Amino acid sequence: MKDNLENFFLNRLKDNLPAEAEWNMPSDDAWNVVNEALQEKKSKKRPLFFIWFLVGMVGLGLLYSLFAIQNLKHQIAVLEKTTFIEKIALPNNADSNTDIISNEVIIIEDKKQEIQVLNNDGEEISDDLILVNKTKALNNKVKPSIESIKQQPLNTGNFVSAETRAQTNNTLIAGSFSTNRYNKILTDLGKKPAQVNIETHASVSRSNTNIQPILSALMELRSNVGPIELLCPSPKSTITSDDVISSNKYVELFLAPVWTSVPTSGRPPSEFETFRGSDIFKLTYAGGINFGREILPNFYIKSGINYQGIKYWSASDVSINYDSSLEFLNLDGEMENLQKVVIPTAIGTMVSDINMVHPVDLLIEDNDPLEINFDMHQQLGYLSIPIGVEYNIPLADKLALNISAGISWNHLISTSNIIIPLVKHNGSKLNAKSVNVGSLNAPNIFNYAISTGVDYSLNAKFDMTLRGTYFKNITPLFNMGEMTTKAQGISLSFGIKNKF
């Protein structure tokens, strides 16, 4: 029970007292410091949002790609212009009776899923396409054959065959002309093999995209190609272009699980003697967008903006002396102490407060040595700008082997540290945890990467990609004396490539 004096003080001091600035109101200094610290803590969380934002964007990109594939057939393709390129005159033999249509203009319009092919007289010639498809089926090949494609030195762009274009009928274009020519031959079954004069060729661009390569093609039919041979299961003619619609640029979205580690090499300096890097690979992720441009046939240069995660485990042993001036009794009646400790890590030293709790009957004197073993799980998030080259080797009709190599510049955008201290005093374990972990100042780094994988063609515009990649730091994450730490990793990425 409280006596009068106690009640007197209690009543006077517990009452709501009027605020007096000079006495019982604190200055705003403390709030300013605390508020700043709170905001700083909040802003440190932003990189995490950035990562999720990036992942979201990649996801949306993939969804968009799938959507775009579904809607590819609805694209409207318009033949914009026709250019006379070359006239090739092949000698007719006496029995040939080939209709020659000179300077023929064909306009193809894709109205939703229906394809309408018109010649310059406005007559619909869609049947021609069907005939080509029949030819394809008979030959049991995905593409009808073409004898050869001759590149025109004066033209830039990709040279494609007419009937190949017709075969990919939802994207047209120049091929429709040749298809027409085929039709003339195929429908001429009663005649002997003809020698054909071809003197026109189409040069087109598609207005529904930003792609402006002038496509030019010159198809040269063999002099003895006739309808019978074309309908044979194994025609003599062979395909010379694998790119049905040849695209020289692409954009690729990818997402990849990555396994990384940060081993050390070289002799460590004294303060890092007890630091242990590790070859153990830890799982994290990467993703981003890459752009490629063909600079030689099947040979691309590429770059992009990626997120690259590096996760690793390391350990170190640190000895400190107990500072009893920092200890206090907590509300649970245990002795608590908060001491700053410098910890060697794979990317330099870090400072962390170590909160240690022990029973009051475990006497720890001032300056008593403590042994701390740190178990560290760290994750670095880098904004990565790669640049590299890529080579595609066609393996089958829809499959290509992809080999690429390059370097990347990487800037640290996020860090995450889980530090688990094991503190011992004369063999007795103290309850300890790491709090207020300091920031890491990792330098920008350069990586090299090599990868290989396959591209599977979904259609003329989209490929699905699968890549295995190995990367390693060129410049180290950290070096001191002779010791360096370099991150390495392997990844398996899945992506969608849009060619244009």
Partner 1 sequence: MSLELINKCQRGDQKSQRILYEQYRQSWFMTCLRYGSNRTQAEDIFQDGLMSVFKNLKQYDSDKSQFITWSTKIMVNAALQSIRKWKKLDIFTNSEYVELEEAIPTNIYDELSAKELTNLIQKLPDGYRIVFNMYVIEGFKHSEIANILNISKNTSKSQLFKAKRMLRIKLESLFQNEYK
- Contacting positions for partner 1 (CB under 8 A): 2-6, 8-10, 12-15, 17, 19-20, 23-27, 29-31, 33-35, 37-39, 42, 324-331, 333, 335, 360
Cβ neighbors of 121 (< 8 A, separation 6 or more) are none
Distance CA 424, CA 426 (A): 6
Smallest gap from Cβ 382 to partner 1, in A, equals 26
Q: Which stretch of DSSP H or E encloses residue 166? A: helix 162-167
Residue whose structure tokens are 């330099």: 348
The SS3 call for residue 61 is helix
Q: Are 287 and 54 in contact (CB under 8 A)?
A: yes
Smallest gap from Cβ 320 to partner 1, in A, equals 18
Q: At residue 448, what is the residue type?
A: Y
Smallest gap from Cβ 13 to partner 1, in A, equals 6
Ramachandran angles phi, psi of 316, nearest 5°: -155, 155
Burial label for 209, CB within 10 Å (0-12, 13-18, 19+), is: exposed
The SS3 call for residue 337 is strand
Nearer to partner 1, 169 or 355 (CB): 355
Q: Which two tokens stand for residue 372?
A: 């701390």
Nearer to partner 1, 27 or 140 (CB): 27
Nearer to partner 1, 134 or 340 (CB): 340
Nearer to partner 1, 189 or 362 (CB): 362
Smallest gap from Cβ 17 to partner 1, in A, equals 5
Cβ neighbors of 388 (< 8 A, separation 6 or more) are 301, 302, 303, 404, 405, 406, 407, 449
Q: Which two tokens stand for residue 136?
A: 């394809």
Distance CA 484, CA 471 (A): 17
Distance CA 402, CA 292 (A): 13
Nearer to partner 1, 28 or 121 (CB): 28
Smallest gap from Cβ 44 to partner 1, in A, equals 12
Nearer to partner 1, 271 or 334 (CB): 334
Helix axis angle, 126-139 relative to 175-186, nearest 10°?
70
Residue whose structure tokens are 């997402």: 255
Nearer to partner 1, 4 or 70 (CB): 4
Smallest gap from Cβ 449 to partner 1, in A, equals 38
Nearer to partner 1, 9 or 446 (CB): 9
Smallest gap from Cβ 16 to partner 1, in A, equals 9
Smallest gap from Cβ 30 to partner 1, in A, equals 4
Nearest CA among 476, 413, 470 for reference residue 265: 476
